[in-house]
Amino acid sequence: MKNLFSLIFLCFLLLPCRGQESSKDYSEAFALIEVWLDAQKDYEKLPGISAAVVEDQKVLWSGAFGQANMEKKVPMTPETLCSICSISKLFTAVAVMTLYEEGKLRLDDTVEDLLPAYDVNQQFPDSGPITVRSLLTHSSGLPREANAPYWTGPDFPFPTREEVYSGLKDQQTLYPASTYYQYSNLALTLLGEIVEQVSGQSYSSYVQEHILTPLQLDHTRTNLPKDLYGNKLAIGYSALNRKGDRPPVNFFQANGIQAAAGYSSNVLDLGKFASWQFRLRDTTAAEILKPATLKLMQQVHFMDPNWKNSWGLGFVVYKGANGTTWVGHGGSCPGYRSTLQLDLKNKRAYAVNINAGGTNPNKYSSGIYAILNKVKSGKSANSDIPFEDYSGHYDARPWGSEEYIGSWEGQLLMVNLPSGDPADDISLFKHVDGDTFRRVRDDGELGETVVFERNAEGKVYRYKQHGNYTYKKKP
């Protein structure tokens, strides 16, 4: 019985929630996030989008909109798998650092010492060595890609490991090592090969044994599971064409580029990966890595001379909108875009997957962050104001597309949709009397009046502002 109680308690702790476990009530913020993402999905013609917000060890919110497979109308869910492309690099970096901790490699070991088959032509005689550190920080001077046209559709011919190696002899460095930032899939591909060479295991088996299984990332793989394609694995779609369509993109495997771009996962597993990082940073006990090693990875190790690109060991490291240090990575593969961003000080992480090219997942993670950051008390004021009567979508054409009205901490909220910055586009209105509200200016003073009107059945059907009417859309 004691063991059963412990198991039930543990399961309770791991359950996702919608904000009730946090110190603030974010339910109105999450409602706005869902309205915003659902609208953006339609206006930007996204096939599907999924997202999750993690606070330390808790899932604050997760949601999904649209479809994983438009042809068969398979809905997108937070559990839906997508290619996470370059987020794969974070797992490769962690694998490298486990070997670093075991003393099997050093950050200043050269690629030639670790990979005897490496033979890229160094065209700068005075260049310093290409090291593990420079590979991790994209400062090696290596070209961006292996010697194959694998980003070319429609079939995306990703090379095998053997083809990657055979193509090295026909490549040369772009810059002297440790001089400039040059994002490089080839660099991370070589790090995957170093993991194999040093560990004596295949790359996939090493990552599975040392990272994915211990962290219970049961839905994260080093490839795209073809048997799940079109169902649990979302179909990828292209960027918009001039007709406003997104044709499906052919299925692909990253093959020899898997360490740089081959993984699949969902936003919930990405959230668990973020929670591990928060957990590890907040303890003295090792879990996969020592806490000091992860902190080392998430410090700036290379800054480009332009002062715009700063990298840790595998992680992008940057100053967030709140002035704190953020780390993370994005991903862009044929038919998929993704992002995982971590606010280290506040222990919040934001994961987004989109099954379409030509999209910007960082816009959505930033928008979600901004909406949550706008919450002050996190508690709705006790009031008899019937906000549900006014809430809904209103037709803003021809001047705009639509407006959404809801509640926000005891006031009426209005935001235009679609919106690239929903938090900044929020207008708040204070209740005056009956169905009358006044806009709250940025300085706290009251502005113009908004009066809602009801039909014969007593239902709100329009509002009047500046002498003009805006009508509520039918559900």
Q: 204 with 346, same domain?
A: yes
pLDDT for the residue numbered 3: 43
Q: 259 with 363, same domain?
A: yes
Q: Please tell me what DSSP assigns to residue 152.
A: -
Question: For residues 293 and 286, what is the distance between their CA atoms, to the nearest angstrom?
Answer: 9
40, part of any domain: no
pLDDT for the residue numbered 443: 96
pLDDT for the residue numbered 384: 85
pLDDT for the residue numbered 377: 77
Whose tokens are 């110190």? That residue is: 23
Q: 309 with 443, same domain?
A: no
Bridge partners (DSSP) of residue 351 are: 52, 340
pLDDT for the residue numbered 409: 94
CATH number at residue 134: 3.40.710.10
Q: 355 with 399, same domain?
A: no
- Are β-strands 336-343 and 316-319 bridged in parallel, bridged antiparallel, or unpaired? unpaired
Q: Which of 351, 373, 395 is the last residue of a domain?
A: 373
pLDDT for the residue numbered 321: 83
Would you give the distance in Å from CA 241 to the centre of its chain?
25
pLDDT in tens, the chain (475 residues): 334 333 333 333 333 433 334 578 999 999 999 999 999 999 999 999 999 999 999 999 999 999 999 999 999 999 999 999 999 999 999 999 999 999 999 999 999 999 999 999 999 999 999 999 999 999 999 999 999 999 999 999 999 999 999 999 999 999 999 999 999 999 999 999 999 999 999 999 999 999 999 999 999 999 999 999 999 999 999 999 999 999 999 999 999 999 999 999 999 999 999 999 999 999 999 999 999 999 999 999 999 999 999 999 999 999 998 889 999 999 999 999 999 999 999 999 999 999 999 999 999 999 999 999 999 976 665 578 999 999 999 999 999 999 999 999 999 999 999 999 999 999 999 999 999 999 999 999 999 999 999 999 999 999 999 999 999 998 8
Q: 391 with 355, same domain?
A: no
36, part of any domain: no
Q: 416 with 352, same domain?
A: no
In tens, the pLDDT along 209-237 reads 999 999 999 999 999 999 999 999 999 99
Peptide bond preceding 475: is omega within 30 degrees of 0, i.e. cis?
no
Element housing 464 (H / E): strand 460-465
Number of compact structural domains in the chain: 2
Whose tokens are 């090693």? That residue is: 293
pLDDT for the residue numbered 381: 59
45, part of any domain: no
98, part of any domain: yes
pLDDT for the residue numbered 378: 66
pLDDT for the residue numbered 380: 64
- Expressed as residue numbers, the domain containing 430 is 380-475
Q: Which of 358, 373, 388 is the last residue of a domain?
A: 373
132, two tokens: 């593990």
Q: 365 with 388, same domain?
A: no
Question: For residues 377 and 379, what is the distance between their CA atoms, to the nearest angstrom?
Answer: 5
64, part of any domain: no
Q: 129 with 237, same domain?
A: yes
Q: 387 with 368, same domain?
A: no
Q: Which of 313, 345, 373 is the last residue of a domain?
A: 373
434, part of any domain: yes
CB 280 within 8 A of CB 295: no
CATH number at residue 475: 2.40.128.600
Q: 110 with 164, same domain?
A: yes
The burial class, CB within 10 Å (0-12 / 13-18 / 19+), for 394 is: buried
In tens, the pLDDT along 229-273 reads 999 999 999 999 999 999 999 999 999 999 999 999 999 999 999
| φ, ψ of residue 284 in degrees (nearest 5) | -110, 0
Q: 270 with 412, same domain?
A: no
| φ, ψ of residue 112 in degrees (nearest 5) | -65, -40
pLDDT for the residue numbered 386: 95
pLDDT for the residue numbered 382: 59
Q: 354 with 437, same domain?
A: no
